Amino acid sequence: MIKTPDHPIVLLEVDGERRNFDPVELQNTLIRCFLGAGLQENCYLAEDIALAVEYAFEHCGRTGKVFARSELDSAVIRILEDTGLADVAALFRRGAPGVLSVECRGDNATVATVLRKYMAGSDAHLDFLAGKVVEALRTLRIEASAPGLMVELARHYEASAPLSVVPTLPVGGGHLDEFYSVSAEEIAAGLEPATRQLVRSGVIRLHGVSRILPSVRLFCFLNRYAAGENLVSPVTEMVLAPRLFALGRHLECCRMTALRYFREVGGDPHARLPVYLSLPDIGDFIECYLEVPRSRAEQLARELGQMLTEGLGVSVEKLNLSVSG
Q: What is the pLDDT of residues 44-102, one digit of tens each?
A: 899 999 999 888 888 877 777 888 888 888 889 888 888 888 888 888 888 765 444 45
**Closest of 152, 146, 183 to residue 261, by C-alpha:** 183
pLDDT for res 147: 74
Sheet containing strand 66-68, edge to edge, reads 18-20, 10-12, 66-68
State the pLDDT at residue 42.
86
Say if CB 116 and CB 126 are below 8 A apart. Answer: yes
Low-confidence ranges of the chain (pLDDT < 50): 1-5, 98-101, 160-176
Q: Which of 36, 39, 45 is nearest to 83 (CA)?
A: 45
Residue 120: per-residue pLDDT = 67
pLDDT of residue 118: 67
Let me know how long the chain is. Answer: 325
Q: What is the pLDDT of residue 164?
A: 37
CA distance 67 to 154: 14
Q: Where are the domains of the chain?
A: 1-169, 178-321
Give 18's strand partners: 12
Alpha helices in the chain (DSSP H): 23-36, 45-58, 69-82, 86-95, 108-118, 123-139, 147-157, 176-179, 184-189, 193-200, 222-228, 237-266, 282-289, 298-309
User: What gap in Å lies between CA 295 and CA 157, rounded to an integer?
Assistant: 49
Buried b (16+ CB within 10 A) or exposed e, 286-309: bebbbebeeeebeebbeebbebbb
Q: Which amino acid is at 79?
A: I
**What pLDDT is recorded for position 12?**
84
What pLDDT, on the 0 to 100 scale, is given for residue 159? 53
Smallest CA-to-CA distance from 218 within 187, 192, 181 is with: 187
Cα 115 to Cα 126: distance, rounded to the nearest angstrom: 6
